[in-house]
């Protein structure tokens, strides 16, 4: 794993007093690097620009938050924050998978163009070096760019570290579980805010964790028991806190030196634990569904409490009012609405995500409180650049939805397109219909009426032949459009996956993914 960018490492290596040793020393070293090495240089001055704090709460369904209409108190902090911000009621992710969804966010490109996918036995699909990320564009314009993530599918091996001064999974505990009891675990955020101020560089801070991800055991026992009132006998209730902490520490200490090895180690740990967690669960049974959703909601509540801690830090620092603060998720989660669990199918429950944006008062004139129109997460950074008056000199597919925030009438109505991990299936929203050619339970085509069936339960494909024909033609256009965009960016749309390296194949074999 790369904690410090190579050029910084070179500069640090000339410091004779610095000796890289145990993990604690390494963290101290990174903090020292933040303080002493990241100096402003001859790049454009960004000193009048605001901080951008972007929190991605992995696997957070929009409709499980109070401010999105949930009837359970899962999100007091996010709800209060949303009351002062712009809430997008209908924001959609471009993929129900962590890596492609986040990469669309960071590049303004659809998954079919950036071609980064979740790690599987076909190997690693890493971001093409010709693609320029938004963090890189912000860095170029003077921002101090820092990503504090929870590893896994967000590992730097996918290219997620591109454009970050610092991209680390070490500086906050995995899933922030220590931060709940000991706010000192988030001290790094205070230090980053101080450093950006001292150097007159605005801060772009990307934060990410897996608190809501399955297995739903990350919340402390006290929160889980509050939500899980009637556990189904025989099903897992998660673990007692001490054992939970031991497992979470295991994730942090997952074996291996580089990110890929750690990713593999985490996958093994996760799958072992997840298997245990899901044992005996039959989501077709309402009582089992209730049990599982209760535990998921406990995770949402925990994520909300952690967000509250982040807000406290920003408030204490005096940065709350002058920063752009964004809360969102990369995808939702399914609880058997379409016969599945976790997140892999292309339906509303896996793609509808929260998106809440709070702007500093100097930008917040005549903003809408809630935006009902559809927006895509691939357009978020384009919108921020539009807001800040920053041109984008690279080819992207994203479009600014600033006009929706300001209700100034400029047109924003792109097709809301999403892909599966293998790019075999596409889904899009067109006017009153949702179409996808996703194969699930023997059905290969889906057509839903949005006004009549927002939960996407009645497939109209067999009965609406004429609409279906139109949708098929649009699907074909979407694929052709992405394919020709890939060609113009220089990434080949024909390339199925990168060939895995010999060492990766060895790791996969050792881990049992390959024969
Ligand atoms: Zn995710």
- Report d(CA 419, CA 118) in Å as an integer: 12
Å from CA of 210 to ligand 1 middle: 8
Cβ(201)–Cβ(142) under 8 Å? yes
Interval between CA 11 and ligand 1 midpoint (Å)? 35
For residue 178, how far is its CA from the centre of ligand 1 (angstroms)? 21
pLDDT of residue 502: 62
Residue located via tokens 């609409």? 467
pLDDT band at 510 (very low <50, low <70, confident <90, very high): low
At residue 43, the pLDDT reads 42
Q: Which of 336, 234, 224, 238 is nearest to 285 (CA)?
A: 336
> pLDDT, tens digit, for every residue of 417-471?
999 999 999 999 999 999 999 999 899 999 999 999 999 999 999 999 999 999 9
Distance of CA 445 from the midpoint of ligand 1 (Å): 25
Q: How many whole angstroms from 267 Cα to the centroid of ligand 1?
A: 14
271, pLDDT greater than 90: no
pLDDT at residue number 28:
57
Please compute the mean of the pLDDT values over residues 136-150 and round it to a whole number: 96
Q: What DSSP assignment string belongs to 244-295?
A: HHHHHHHHHT-S-SSHHHHHHHHHHHHHHHHHHHHTT--TTSHHHHHHHHHH
Taking residues 358-371, what's their average pLDDT? Answer: 90
Q: Which of 42-51, 108-117, 189-198, 241-250 has the lowest mean pLDDT?
A: 42-51
pTM of the model: 0.88
Output the six-digit token pair for 328: 């969102």
Separation CA 511–CA 515 (nearest Å): 10
Q: How far is the CA of 165 from the centre of ligand 1 (A)?
A: 23
Say if residue 21's pLDDT is above 60. Answer: no
Q: Is it the case that residue 336 has pLDDT exceeding 50?
A: yes
Strands of 93-214, DSSP E: 144-148, 166-168, 203-209
pLDDT at 13: 34
Structure token pair of residue 382 = 């384009």
Q: How far is the CA of 330 from the centre of ligand 1 (A)?
A: 5
Q: How far is the centre of ligand 1, averaged over its atoms, from the C-alpha of 369 (Å)?
A: 27
- Encoding tokens for residue 1? 């794993």
Query: 253-279 burial, b if ≥16 CB within 10 A, otherwise e?
Result: ebeeeebbbbbbbbbbbbeebbeebbe
* pLDDT surpassing 50 at residue 45: no
CA of 292 to the centre of ligand 1 (A): 18
Over residues 312-326, the pLDDT tens digits come to 999 999 999 999 999
Q: How far is the CA of 320 from the centre of ligand 1 (A)?
A: 26
Confidence check: pLDDT of 35 > 60: no
Whether residue 30 has pLDDT greater than 70: no
d(CA 497, CA 377): 24
Gap from CA of 331 to ligand 1 centroid (Å): 6
Asked if residues 352 and 63 have their Cβ atoms less than 8 Å apart, the reply is yes
Question: Residue 416 Cα, ligand 1 centroid: separation in angstroms?
Answer: 19
Residue 96 near residue 371, CB atoms below 8 Å:
no
Per-residue pLDDT tens for 118-135? 988 777 788 999 999 999
pLDDT given for residue 307 in this prediction: 97
215 preceded by a cis bond (ω within 30 of 0): yes
303: Cβ contacts below 8 Å, ≥ 6 apart: 57, 60, 209, 211, 212
């Amino acid at each position: 794993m790369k904690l410090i960018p190579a050029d910084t490492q070179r500069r640090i290596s000339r410091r004779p007093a610095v000796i890289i040793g145990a993990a604690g020393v390494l963290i101290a070293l990174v903090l020292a690097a933040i303080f002493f090495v990241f100096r402003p240089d001859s790049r454009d001055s960004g000193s009048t620009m605001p901080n951008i704090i972007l929190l991605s709460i992995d696997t957070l369904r929009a409709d499980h938050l109070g401010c999105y209409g949930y009837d359970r108190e899962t999100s007091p902090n996010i709800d209060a924050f949303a009351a002062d911000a712009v809430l997008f009621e209908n924001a959609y992710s471009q993929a129900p998978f962590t890596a492609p969804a986040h990469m669309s966010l960071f590049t303004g490109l659809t998954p079919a163009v950036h071609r980064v996918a979740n790690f599987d036995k076909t190997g690693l699909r890493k971001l093409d070096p010709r693609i320029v990320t938004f963090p890189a564009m912000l860095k170029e314009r003077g921002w101090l760019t820092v990503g504090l993530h929870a590893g896994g599918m967000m590992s730097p091996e996918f290219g997620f570290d591109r454009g970050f001064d610092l991209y680390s999974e070490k500086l906050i505990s995995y899933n922030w579980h220590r931060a709940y009891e000991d706010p000192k675990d988030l001290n790094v955020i205070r230090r980053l805010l101080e450093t950006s101020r001292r150097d007159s560089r605005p801060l772009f801070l990307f934060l990410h964790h897996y608190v809501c991800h399955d297995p739903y055991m990350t919340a402390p026992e006290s929160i889980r028991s509050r939500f899980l009132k009637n556990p189904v006998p025989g099903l897992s209730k998660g673990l007692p806190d001490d054992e939970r902490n031991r497992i979470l520490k295991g994730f942090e200490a997952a074996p291996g030196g580089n990110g890929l090895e750690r990713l593999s180690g985490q996958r093994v740990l996760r799958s072992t634990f997840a298997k245990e967690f899901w044992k005996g669960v039959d989501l077709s049974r309402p009582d089992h569904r209730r049990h599982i959703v209760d535990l998921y909601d406990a995770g949402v509540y925990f994520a909300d409490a952690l967000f509250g801690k982040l807000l406290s830090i920003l408030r204490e620092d005096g940065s709350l009012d002058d920063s752009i603060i964004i809360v969102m998720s990369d995808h939702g989660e399914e609880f058997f609405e379409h016969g599945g669990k976790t997140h892999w199918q292309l339906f509303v429950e896996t793609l509808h995500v929260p998106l809440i944006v709070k702007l500093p008062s100097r930008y917040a004139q005549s903003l809408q409180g809630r935006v009902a129109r559809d927006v895509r997460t691939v357009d978020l950074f384009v919108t921020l650049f539009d807001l800040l008056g920053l041109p984008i000199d690279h080819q992207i597919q994203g479009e600014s939805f600033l006009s929706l925030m300001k209700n100034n009438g400029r047109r924003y109505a792109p097709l809301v397109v999403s892909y599966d991990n293998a790019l075999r299936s596409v889904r899009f929203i067109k006017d009153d219909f949702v179409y996808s050619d996703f194969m699930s339970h023997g059905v290969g085509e889906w057509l839903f009426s949005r006004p009549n069936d927002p939960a996407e339960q009645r497939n109209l494909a067999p009965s609406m032949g004429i609409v279906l024909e139109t949708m098929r033609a649009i699907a074909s256009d979407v694929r052709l459009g992405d394919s020709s965009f890939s060609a113009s960016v220089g990434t080949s749309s024909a390339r199925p996956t990168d060939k895995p390296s010999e060492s990766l194949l060895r790791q996969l074999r050792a881990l049992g993914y390959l024969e």
